[in-house]
Amino acid sequence: MKNVPISKSIPYNIDENYLELTRKVHLILHVGRLMMENSADTSRIVRTMQRTAAYAGIFGDQLHIHVTYTTLMVSVSVGNYHMTKLQKCYQHNVDMNVILEVSKMTWEAIERDYTIEQFEAELKKVESKKSKYATFIINLGAALACGGVGKMFGCDIMASLYTALAAFIGFFVRSQCLKIGINPYMAIVLSSFTATVIAYFTHFLPFTDTSWYTMLACAIFIVPGVPMVNALEDMLDCYITAGITRAMNTLLMVGSMTFGIIFAIKLFSVEDFTHLSTVNHQAYIVYVISAFIAAAGFSTMFNVPPRLLWVVGLGGVISVCVRTLSMDFLGVGLPIGTLLGAMVVSIIALRAVHWFHVPSHVLTIPSVIPLMPGILMYRLLFNIIDIDTLDVSNFLQAFQSGVNATLIILAIAVGVALPNIFAQKYIRIYDSKRLSRALSERKYRQYHFKEIKQLELFKE
């Protein structure tokens, strides 16, 4: 008996409606994956996926979305069709431009009547786009950002350049580790170790009297500002599972960074330099210039569009100046000053998103990274290293440094997240009205296009 091809021997019917629904669900998941893999907060991911579903004609109770840090699930019920699909998220980068482009494209798909094919093609274009900055520029931006933060901590110009050098080499090590597929947490260990070692050896170089400050800022580029803010915002916004997972990822990153720094300190027997003063009496213009450089430098790491670099730099200036002025003139402590600085920038960004047409996190997160604590974190590290020899007074000092450093970090996250949480209701109302209007206009265009076609056929 001859082998007959299955396509000829077994007739079967292809359910076109089912295939079309499958394609739409994959499109929704593709949008969600791009947002999650580039560090959008969960609320924005859900809103963008819902908007994509509305474009595809899936509304309200027909759609159910479940988001975790590593997996997206979409369940759709349309007529007699019920479908549930999962999508894994394989990487977690920080790319503000991808978040911006995907969000923008979901609106354009409705307003410009994209076909499914056009939507899929545009998504692929966004996914395949290279960073807006060359690798060297990103590396240089991270180095200058750390140098700017070091200047705010109190080092002189030459020490700032040494800080930038250490950060440049450390960032290069991390990028190369990720490029060859090394575990991301191990890459953080190696980069923080390298940056700290280079910073330590710059202590022996001439032309500076503030060389110890170099060690305070050389590894700031590793600080997980975006995961930290997203974790808190997700939990406050009732996305508990995603928030807790992001928080654990943040802790692992901070732990890896800490291990690399401690290993370098112990290996080279670095003396305790945490006697450095936390009171910095530099001129305000120094804070302004340093904060601008730091915020703009961090923006290149997050692939913020170049047209917004000056905006983010200005945000860094505002956050640092609000903190400094509130401490100097209102007499508040460093944690409260940090909270005020982060909140002011976040509130301004909620308004600025309508001017620059970008998600608020694109503007806020790079702007608040310069607020990170320096000397307090290192005091805690040295006390942890020497915990066996601590007396009661030193132990209390270590505890105080740890509490203050933790409060400052939380103040940054809370200051960025709270205004967004309170504004969520109004953002959803605004998006809902805009979506309803766009869908109505789309329906109107399609109806009149159909009428014109019928009229042309009638004339023929």
Q: How far apart are the first and last CA of the chain?
A: 55
User: pLDDT tens per residue, the chain (460 residues)?
Assistant: 444 444 444 444 567 888 889 999 999 999 999 999 999 999 999 999 999 999 998 988 899 999 998 999 999 998 888 899 999 998 889 999 999 999 999 999 998 889 899 999 999 999 988 888 999 999 999 999 999 988 888 888 999 999 999 999 999 999 999 999 999 999 999 999 999 999 999 888 888 888 888 888 888 898 888 888 899 889 988 899 999 999 999 889 988 988 898 898 888 888 766 666 655 667 788 888 999 999 999 999 999 999 999 999 999 999 999 998 898 888 888 889 999 999 999 999 988 888 888 888 888 988 998 887 766 666 666 666 666 666 677 667 767 777 887 888 889 888 988 888 888 778 778 888 888 888 888 887 766 655 555 555 555 5
- Cα 161 to Cα 252: distance, rounded to the nearest angstrom: 29
- Cα 154 to Cα 286: distance, rounded to the nearest angstrom: 10
- Cα 284 to Cα 118: distance, rounded to the nearest angstrom: 51
Beta strands in 110-220 (DSSP E): none
**Entry pTM:** 0.85
Beta-bridged to residue 73, according to DSSP, are: 66, 86
The answer to whether the CB of 144 falls within 8 A of the CB of 164 is yes
Sorted by sequence, the CB contacts under 8 Å of residue 240 that are 6+ apart come out as 234
Greatest Cα-to-Cα distance within the chain, rounded to the nearest angstrom: 98
Q: Is the dihedral of CA 179, 185, 217, 133 positive or negative?
A: positive
In the structure encoding, which two tokens stand for residue 373, read together? Answer: 């604590």
In the structure encoding, which two tokens stand for residue 212, read together? Answer: 């110890």
Alpha helices in 237-308, H assignment, sequence order: 240-267, 284-301
- Cα 176 to Cα 135: distance, rounded to the nearest angstrom: 11
